């Protein structure tokens, strides 16, 4: 039988192993298994640091046996055995074997085995082995209960090597691979299975072009697989990783480059630059556009006037004016008979966009024949009747509201349509959708973006906006099918935001924090208090809003603070007498809108909220923000949150309240946010500290992932070089007919792109 990467594992491995690999790790083919790379390597004689173990995690450690201590214990009787009096000793004494293993620094770990006294003959002092299990704690000591293990024969002090040790000898070599594993199949069994199939597929077909491998001096695919799983040396392992990283980068970039090339070949409606509505809007602006807004606006206007669809990413720091740039582009489309749709991730943000766009348009939002006639007379160019009407559609709209909006959308009465996922549903039919704006793209998958674009008769122009500054490598890897524009300067009049870290346990600092809030309110201004969760059972709401978003922290000892609790505490204590409002994702849409309108109108002094206010919320009179449990938020999230203050004539103040200890990673993250307001600098730091799976989404969260070794931070040179190579390959051979192996991988990833490119 011919064995290839596509061969099912059930044809080459035992049933029990195949079931464990499939059910626990999602590995079904030989290629899946060989693509399950080690996450680290233990080396003979290397002393494993046992001080880094965390309670509850599944681990595999290399350690040396220090002692094996036989004991006995009498188990507690059940309530049934003791006539309902549970907890008393009962039954016969049983055997307990405690084995102490340790690393070179003397850090120890206890292994416990119940009713297995014979293991003392194997686990003798001085013997090295691999031990796998879940870390628990008993009476202050870390332990593994009934762990699986394999002893290393080379380090044994007595006795011949058994068959298990011989197996280790066969596959381990100098460097011992340690694989992501499960309780059903430990790392050494995975290694044994990989060893078996490696010998069956000595020379798998190589998907990388020969010319590319030779020019870069890369290993062939078969050699790279053998060295990643059974490395001869650290140098050989490094060469294997480089080769496999190149493959991951090239496949990903080829998908994005090909998608971009295909999009460039599509036909789109051309919307001439300018137009009566845009000219009238610009004439009414009370301020001058920044140089960046003007430059990016010109890029977008030129592409909208082209016969091929625009696909552009607009990224800008907090308050850089992305919505204004997008609105000007919408008006260019609407002025020439098209419709523009803005897709927002939450109802709060959609409502805020609707409110702010209507306010920016002023009398231009009223629509009607009189206004159109007025514009035609002034410029000689017109627009369809009521084309500037701005409609809002969300999941919580009433049946009557929905019918009205759907009719306006279908008849082109509404030229600008703003909504949440509700815009994607069947029954939302556009008359002439020509332009799609997707806000906060990281909340949407590519499939959702495409679902809205599919509602157009011709491929619409697309603008993806994000308020999160993105490092170049991330933009190239995740948004590589889009052209990129950056807004780096803030509009005139925006004031600086001072950020300070406040120790939660220091009552003097906390008293001063709440006094500062009172001072801002006394001066006629407003404030936010942000908490990481709603309270009780935090869940997604039916309309898709996220009521919370936070990261775990060092030494977490108590539940994160909740808005429903904090607001009551503030009302009764530090902020008594002030007008407090509550906002979170579990409120219904009408209540959220009522609260935001009241806050914007100055009827609420302090808004106590979750991260539902993170993006898009614009209240210029808000000058202070207190973020409680700040260590539970990520860098970019904190940067977005503080961007809600200092948006008017007065300076902003952001106080990050935290229990994080000096010198901890959490405190370093907060200090970094406090040290700069440069979102692009913070984005680079964020990438350093985050799991890259958060950026690559399914790339690392799925078992059968396409990107496992590539690092956006460490491998920027490979990513950039792979981008250039992919561009040349696709330009010369769009379908990659000359490289069938590479084409198969590209097609496979392209088929999964909706899941793959959806970012968490």
pLDDT for 255 beyond 60: yes
- For residue 545, the model assigns a pLDDT of 41
User: What is the spatial distance between Cα 24 and Cα 28, in angstroms, rounded to a whole number?
Assistant: 11
Tell which residue, 542, 553, 191, 592, has the closest CA to residue 355: 592
Q: Quick one: what percent of the chain has pLDDT higher than 90?
A: 41
Fold classification of 497-676 is: Rossmann fold (3.40.50)
pLDDT for 618 beyond 90: no
Which segments within 103-202 are labelled E, that is strand? 108-114, 128-138, 141-145, 148-151, 175-178
Fold classification of 42-75+88-178 is: OB fold (Dihydrolipoamide Acetyltransferase, E2P) (2.40.50)
Take residue 497 and report the two structure tokens written for it: 């935001």
DSSP secondary structure of 23-70: HHH---BHHHHHT---SEEEETTPPP-GGG--TT-EEEEEEEEEEEEE
Q: Spell out the residues 6+ positions from residue 498 whose beta carbon is closer than 8 angstroms to its own.
A: 651, 652, 653, 654
- For residue 541, the model assigns a pLDDT of 39
Displacement of CA 1 from its chain's centroid (Å)? 43
User: What is the spatial distance between Cα 228 and Cα 239, in angstroms, rounded to a whole number?
Assistant: 9
Residue found under tokens 């192996």: 741
Cβ atoms of residues 208 and 225 within 8 Å: no
- For residue 166, the model assigns a pLDDT of 46
- The larger pLDDT score, comparing residue 98 to residue 535, is at 98
- The larger pLDDT score, comparing residue 756 to residue 658, is at 658
Cβ atoms of residues 171 and 180 within 8 Å: no
Cβ atoms of residues 353 and 324 within 8 Å: no
- For residue 657, the model assigns a pLDDT of 95
If phi > 0 it is left, if psi is from -120 to 50 it is alpha, else beta; for residue 386 that is left
Least confident of 136-150, 407-421, 454-468, 742-756: 742-756
- Please give the mean pLDDT across all residues of the chain: 82
Q: Spell out the residues 6+ positions from residue 588 whose beta carbon is closer than 8 angstroms to its own.
A: 396
Take residue 169 and report the two structure tokens written for it: 């000898």
Helix 234-264 / helix 740-751 crossing angle, nearest 10 deg:
70
Q: Is domain 276-487 classified as CATH 3.30.420.10?
A: no
- Is the overall model pTM greater than 0.85, yes or no? no
Take residue 18 and report the two structure tokens written for it: 């195949």
Cα torsion 432, 437, 442, 443 to 10°: value is -60
Highest mean pLDDT (candidates 399-403, 511-515, 703-707):
511-515
User: What is the spatial distance between Cα 576 and Cα 558, in angstroms, rounded to a whole number?
Assistant: 26
Task: Specify the pairing of strand 128-138 against strand 148-151.
Answer: antiparallel
- For residue 547, the model assigns a pLDDT of 37
pLDDT for 285 beyond 50: yes
**Terminal alpha carbon distance of the chain:** 43
Cβ atoms of residues 201 and 5 within 8 Å: yes
Take residue 36 and report the two structure tokens written for it: 């399950």
Q: Spell out the residues 6+ positions from residue 333 whose beta carbon is closer than 8 angstroms to its own.
A: 271, 304, 339, 340, 434, 435, 461
pLDDT for 370 beyond 90: no
Take residue 194 and report the two structure tokens written for it: 């990989």
Cβ atoms of residues 74 and 121 within 8 Å: no
pLDDT for 48 beyond 70: no
Q: Mean per-residue pLDDT for 17-39? A: 92
Cβ atoms of residues 428 and 406 within 8 Å: yes
User: What is the spatial distance between Cα 235 and Cα 229, in angstroms, rounded to a whole number?
Assistant: 14
Per-residue pLDDT tens digits for 559-586 = 889 999 999 999 999 999 999 999 998 8
- The larger pLDDT score, comparing residue 135 to residue 753, is at 135
- For residue 474, the model assigns a pLDDT of 76
Question: CB 408: neighbour CB atoms within 10 A?
Answer: 20
Per-residue pLDDT tens digits for 237-249 = 999 999 999 999 9
Highest mean pLDDT (candidates 30-44, 218-232, 682-696, 744-758):
218-232
Q: Spell out the residues 6+ positions from residue 411 whose beta carbon is closer than 8 angstroms to its own.
A: 431
pLDDT band at 56 (very low <50, low <70, confident <90, very high): confident
Take residue 378 and report the two structure tokens written for it: 């002034």
Going from the C-alpha of 470 to that of each of 338, 425, 574, 617, 645, the distances in angstroms are 31, 30, 38, 21, 22
Take residue 222 and report the two structure tokens written for it: 């078969």
Burial class (CB in 10 A: 0-12, 13-18, 19+), 720: middle
- For residue 338, the model assigns a pLDDT of 93
User: What is the spatial distance between Cα 125 and Cα 516, in angstroms, rounded to a whole number?
Assistant: 63
- For residue 49, the model assigns a pLDDT of 65
Displacement of CA 366 from its chain's centroid (Å)? 40
The total number of residues written for the chain in this structure: 760
Give phi and psi for 125, each to the nearest 5: -55, 135
Which segments within 374-469 are labelled E, that is strand? 389-393, 414-419, 433-439, 461-466
User: What is the spatial distance between Cα 358 and Cα 391, in angstroms, rounded to a whole number?
Assistant: 10
Domain parsing of the chain, residue ranges: 42-75+88-178, 276-487, 497-676
Take residue 685 and report the two structure tokens written for it: 């730091």
User: What is the spatial distance between Cα 45 and Cα 669, in angstroms, rounded to a whole number?
Assistant: 36
Least confident of 94-98, 411-415, 475-479: 475-479
By three-state DSSP, how is residue 353 classified?
helix
By three-state DSSP, how is residue 492 classified?
coil
Cβ atoms of residues 416 and 356 within 8 Å: no
- For residue 690, the model assigns a pLDDT of 63
User: What is the spatial distance between Cα 144 and Cα 57, in angstroms, rounded to a whole number?
Assistant: 10
Take residue 526 and report the two structure tokens written for it: 């407003």
By three-state DSSP, how is residue 431 classified?
coil
pLDDT for 299 beyond 80: yes
Helix, strand, coil percentages in the chain from 3-state DSSP, rounded to 5: 40, 20, 40
- For residue 333, the model assigns a pLDDT of 94
- For residue 475, the model assigns a pLDDT of 75
Q: Mean per-residue pLDDT for 736-747? A: 93
Highest mean pLDDT (candidates 168-172, 371-375, 744-748):
744-748
pLDDT for 40 beyond 80: yes
pLDDT for 389 beyond 60: yes
Per-residue pLDDT tens digits for 305-336 = 999 999 898 988 777 888 999 999 999 999 99
Indicate if 497-676 has the same CATH topology as 276-487.
Answer: yes
pLDDT for 735 beyond 70: yes
Take residue 110 and report the two structure tokens written for it: 């206890």
């Amino acid at each position: 039988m011919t064995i290839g990467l596509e061969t099912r594992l059930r044809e080459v491995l035992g049933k029990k192993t195949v079931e464990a690999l499939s059910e626990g790790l999602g590995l079904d083919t030989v290629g899946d298994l060989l693509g399950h790379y080690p996450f680290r390597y233990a080396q003979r004689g290397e002393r494993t640091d046992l001080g880094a173990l965390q309670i509850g995690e599944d681990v595999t450690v290399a350690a040396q046996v220090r002692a094996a201590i036989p004991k006995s214990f009498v188990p507690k009787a059940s309530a049934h055995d003791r006539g309902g009096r549970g907890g008393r000793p009962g039954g016969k004494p049983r055997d307990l074997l405690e084995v102490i293993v340790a690393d070179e620094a003397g850090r120890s770990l206890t292994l416990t085995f119940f009713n297995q006294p014979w293991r003392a003959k194997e686990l003798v002092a001085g013997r090295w082995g691999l031990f796998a299990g879940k870390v628990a704690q008993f009476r202050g000591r870390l332990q593994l209960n009934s762990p699986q293990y394999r002893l290393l024969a080379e380090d044994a002090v007595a006795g011949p090597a058994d068959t298990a040790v011989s197996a280790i000898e066969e596959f381990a070599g100098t460097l011992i691979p340690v694989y992501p594993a499960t309780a059903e199949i430990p790392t050494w069994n995975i290694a044994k299975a990989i060893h078996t199939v490696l010998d069956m597929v000595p020379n798998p077909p190589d998907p990388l072009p020969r010319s590319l491998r030779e020019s870069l001096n890369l290993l062939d695919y078969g050699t790279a697989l053998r060295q990643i799983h059974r490395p001869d040396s650290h140098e050989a392992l490094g060469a294997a990783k480089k080769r496999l990283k190149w493959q991951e980068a090239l496949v990903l970039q080829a998908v994005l480059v090909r998608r971009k090339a295909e999009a460039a070949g599509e036909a789109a409606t051309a919307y001439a630059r300018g137009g009566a509505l845009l000219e009238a809007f610009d004439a009414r602006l009370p301020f001058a556009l920044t140089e960046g807004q003007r430059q990016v606006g010109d890029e977008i206007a030129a592409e909208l006037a082209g016969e091929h669809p625009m696909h552009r990413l607009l990224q800008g720091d907090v308050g850089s004016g992305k919505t204004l740039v997008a609105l000007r582009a919408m008006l260019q489309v609407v002025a020439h008979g098209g419709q523009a749709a803005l897709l927002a991730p939450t109802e709060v943000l959609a409502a805020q966009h609707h409110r702010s766009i209507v306010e920016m348009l002023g009398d231009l939002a009223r629509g009607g024949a009189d206004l159109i006639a007025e514009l035609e007379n002034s410029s000689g160019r017109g627009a369809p009747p009521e084309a500037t009407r701005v409609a809002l559609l969300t999941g919580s709209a009433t049946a009557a509201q929905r019918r009205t909006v759907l009719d306006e959308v279908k008849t082109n009465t509404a030229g600008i349509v703003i909504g949440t996922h509700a815009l994607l549903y069947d029954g939302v039919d556009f008359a002439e959708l020509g332009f799609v704006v997707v806000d906060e793209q990281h909340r949407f998958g590519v499939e959702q973006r495409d679902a809205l674009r599919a509602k157009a008769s011709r491929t619409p122009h697309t603008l993806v906006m994000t308020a999160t500054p993105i490092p170049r490598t991330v933009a190239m890897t995740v948004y590589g099918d889009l052209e990129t524009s950056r807004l780096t300067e803030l509009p005139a009049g925006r004031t600086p935001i001072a950020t300070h870290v406040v120790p939660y346990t220091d009552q003097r600092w906390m008293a001063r924090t709440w006094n500062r809030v009172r001072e801002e309110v006394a001066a006629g201004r407003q404030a936010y208090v942000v908490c990481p969760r709603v309270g009780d059972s935090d869940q997604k709401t039916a309309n898709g809003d996220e009521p919370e978003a936070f990261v775990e922290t060092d030494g977490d000892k108590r539940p994160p603070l909740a808005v429903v609790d904090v607001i009551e505490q503030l009302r009764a204590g530090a902020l008594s007498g002030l007008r407090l409002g509550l906002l979170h994702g579990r409120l219904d849409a009408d209540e959220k809108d009522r609260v935001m309108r009241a806050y914007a109108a100055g009827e609420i002094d302090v808004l106590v909220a979750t991260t539902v206010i993170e993006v898009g919320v614009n209240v210029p009179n808000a000058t202070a923000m207190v973020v409680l449990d700040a260590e539970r938020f990520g860098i970019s999230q904190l940067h977005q949150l503080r961007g809600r203050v200092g948006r008017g004539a007065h300076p902003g103040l952001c106080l990050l309240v935290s229990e994080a200890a000096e010198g901890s990673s959490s405190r370093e993250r907060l200090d970094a946010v406090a040290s700069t307001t440069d979102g692009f600098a913070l984005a680079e730091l964020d990438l350093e500290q985050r799991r890259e799976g958060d950026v690559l989404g399914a790339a690392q969260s799925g078992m059968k992932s396409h990107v496992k070794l590539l690092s956006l931070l460490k491998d920027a040179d490979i990513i950039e070089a792979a981008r250039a190579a992919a561009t040349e390959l696709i330009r010369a051979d769009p379908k990659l007919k000359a490289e069938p192996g590479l084409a198969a991988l590209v097609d496979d990833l392209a088929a999964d792109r909706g899941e793959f490119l959806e970012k968490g």
